[in-house]
A and B are shown apart, each in its own frame.
Chain A
């Protein structure tokens, strides 16, 4: 059978990081081809190459679609031949109606005047195809995420679609909505539309996929045919991970919990917080939490479990409203009512979103490093520029930030080096307790290892470290203790040595039986 799509030897570099190297990937007509791999394996990058988000010339290799080599300059080019991508973050405009959203780019009509009748009729047809009974005039903001996903698919169907790419379509859907969406994919398959399904949920993948391709560290590891007998999930996982945990994480002598370990350095009790917009929604539900001196505590949980919200509500009430509870640092009650006071009390929060919440991207490394503790380099509020440079150069050396000089703009560094700049900024405030939110998100394997080493050193230096992460192997690999959070409460706690992914998942499931089964986050 001739392939519908053939991607040959695709390589793509971002400043300093190899995102894809020599990837081969084919899709046959009318098949559902699943693409799996860890976070950062290169799945989304590969799809962005395919859809023209990264235009021809910005990558190496060739894309052959329908027997012809294609050089997409942008997403319009790839849509013209029938490659439609539905991104992880939905691209709908909340305050417009379903119909307006579906025909946002090319509304039917003449001379720029929209033919409303046709829009209504065609929207109804498309909605029927995806099994939605909503009125075309319903505002997108008023329907649930599951239905929004279906509207996205209807929008894709409004164009001539030959190959549909779905990037983690079920990540935020309930089990029922997920099942409906997967049925829809099978129906498309019957109509001859091929799909690429990117997903972390291996149970779904093995249910619908014809073939499965595994990516790891930007390379194709294997393509498995599901018709040659069922592909076991364990086999997929083994291919996805490959590295044994021993070598992915630096060695650590775990501090034993209990009175034998260090004394509590940070403690919150009965901590609650409410949603900033919906005052009646309690997001953080009377939590008790403590970190000992020299201890690394992990907080595990699914997206939306309230981990980031918990951390930010502690850190100077940077999230939420009606925050209550008691916080102690080194046994004394701490005033954490503003970010400045939280920093002064010895708390540091390294954000999960370093680009939007962590860095001044247009400023250089030097100014970013000193930002949270200008006092230390500015006696009488006048900045001592030589001292500032000394501090920045010192952190550059200690954290091994790879750059031309500390005058380099942080926006031009790779993700790993940006993360080291953010870490430097917080270390310069000399905190007693650090909360690291997804400290290795979006950075390559080598830099991850370095970050883990830094985390270890911090704990060895007697600081309390809290790591929030969606990557369970990471938490198991580096933490002395793991607390599991779900829907704003702690639902389980494991010593680092005892924790396994299954145990953590089970703790989450016990609490929220109705939630979708997510295997690997």
Chain B
């Protein structure tokens, strides 16, 4: 194998074009943030508001990670809101009524979520029943079950340690630090450094193998921007009460799923199933099992989201989870996932969720009623997908 043969390059024109979707999404997010920052007179990026924004949207982001995989395989899961609500209700009954310690209770809830996902995925994967129908049924079933086990009433409050899942912050290591939380700031700085280091290492590795890379200036600028943005947000977060626990969970999950989808064989195979199920099957991929597993995964993440939401409200209500599925699905499609399967990125889904979150938050600050908020969000979803389809046709 000569080294010359390795001079495969994502051509620059093609490179920019193929990545425009991602960057475009990121740019839209920043444009929306700057817009609301200006029209709310700087309220949006106040440390308190930013922390709230994270807390408010964490469960959407968590579920969007699972939904992305479901959508990539060419399916949909309409039941996630109901499942999250149901699991929250189960958690409340276990912890409040039966006084079970929060660790086993949490584990039971996650396993329950996985079992629910398995029950739905079984019909979709092995019986080829359209996921739309199976999960529509699931949506009704679990909404009803949540009502039943709560007997129509709210159950709470949760043990204080469990509440920490949503409303807690990481402990401060430096005593008497004052207004700024140094530990959180340090973690943020470390994260920023780690990401930049990973990028540089990847580039060095590519260069070592004579794979052409993006222009150096562009690469440097991108990393500088990434570094400063993460550091700035870390600073904002650190000047309120430090890193929320749920943000730590969220970032860890995002990293895990980004790695899973881009670098592992199972991730590659999931995209293959969505891209062309028959070809994937004839290439020796166990398509049914993969579809099944994406639903199990979705169930676990919906359960986690349900726990986070219940802990945040400090009570389980029969209405919890209502309409979550719509926000989650919208986040994936705004983030560039294709309804036909095979296309979509973790980063895109996360950005999609953040766009929805920032818009909710910004419009609420502006005092726009819930009525017109929905109108605007609907139009943004349609616009984002139209733009995406238009770009693909032109390409």
Chain A positions near chain B (C-beta within 8 angstroms)? 315-316, 318, 338-340, 342-343, 349, 351, 356-363, 366-367, 371-372, 374-375, 378, 381-383, 385-386, 389-390, 392-394, 396-397, 404-407, 425
Contacts and interface: CB of A to CB of B under 8 A. Distances in A.
B268 A339 contact: no
A405 B279 CA distance: 22
26 contacts: A318-B282, A339-B283, A340-B284, A342-B284, A343-B284, A356-B276, A356-B279, A357-B278, A357-B282, A360-B275, A360-B279, A360-B342, A361-B275, A363-B272, A366-B8, A367-B272, A371-B280, A372-B284, A374-B265, A382-B265, A383-B268, A393-B6, A404-B11, A406-B8, A407-B8, A407-B10
Contacts of A359: 276, 279
A372 B265 CA distance: 11
Contacts of B11: 404-405, 407
A361 B340 CA distance: 13
B392 to A, nearest CB: 10
A83 to B, nearest CB: 29
Nearest to A360: B275
Contacts of B6: 389-390, 393
A433 B27 CA distance: 51
A389 B8 contact: yes
A362 B205 contact: no
Contacts of A392: 8
B279 A362 contact: no
A363 B282 contact: no
B313 to A, nearest CB: 39
A342 B282 CA distance: 10
A367 B263 contact: no
B194 interface: no
List of 3 A-B pairs having minimum Cβ-Cβ separation, nearest first: A372-B283, A360-B275, A340-B284
A171 to B, nearest CB: 25
Contacts of B128: none
Contacts of B135: none
B8 A393 contact: yes
A407 B282 CA distance: 23
A376 to B, nearest CB: 10
Nearest to A365: B8
Nearest to A364: B10
Contact of A339 (B211, B275, B282): B282
Given A389-B6, A407-B10, A383 B281 contact: no
A377 to B, nearest CB: 9
Contacts of A338: 284, 286
Contacts of A362: 275, 342-343
A339 B8 contact: no
Given A339-B282, A360-B342, A407-B10, A375 B265 contact: yes
Nearest to B262: A383
A339 B281 contact: yes
Contacts of B272: 360, 363, 367, 371
Given A386-B205, A389-B211, A394-B5, 13 more contacts: A343-B283, A343-B284, A358-B282, A360-B342, A372-B284, A375-B265, A381-B264, A381-B265, A383-B263, A385-B263, A396-B5, A396-B8, A397-B5
A233 to B, nearest CB: 39
B5 A393 contact: yes
B281 to A, nearest CB: 6
Given A360-B276, A374-B268, A394-B5, A404 B14 contact: yes
A349 B265 contact: no
Contacts of B264: 378, 381-383
Contacts of A315: 282
Interface string B189-222: 0000000000000000110010100000000000
A217 to B, nearest CB: 30
Contact of B8 (A357, A375, A405): A405
B271 interface: yes
B46 interface: no
Contacts of A351: 282
B1 A390 contact: yes
B266 interface: yes
B209 A405 contact: no
B9 interface: yes
B184 interface: no
Given A357-B278, A359-B276, A405 B10 contact: yes
B106 interface: no
Interface string B258-301: 00000111101101100110111111111000000000000000
A231 to B, nearest CB: 44
Instruction: Name the residue among B6, B9, B279 with the largest chain A CB count within 10 angstroms.
Output: B279
B289 to A, nearest CB: 11
Given A339-B284, A406-B8, A381 B275 contact: no
A381 B271 CA distance: 15
A315 B123 CA distance: 26
B228 to A, nearest CB: 28
Nearest to B15: A407
Contacts of A393: 5-6, 8
Select the residue from B11, B209, B284 with max chain A CB neighbours within 10 A.
B284
Contacts of B205: 386
B268 A358 contact: no
Nearest to B259: A382
Contacts of B263: 382-383, 385
A401 to B, nearest CB: 12
Contacts of A349: 282
Contact of A405 (B9, B269, B271, B275): B9
Contacts of B278: 356-357
A371 to B, nearest CB: 5
Given A339-B281, A374-B265, A407-B14, A363 B286 contact: no
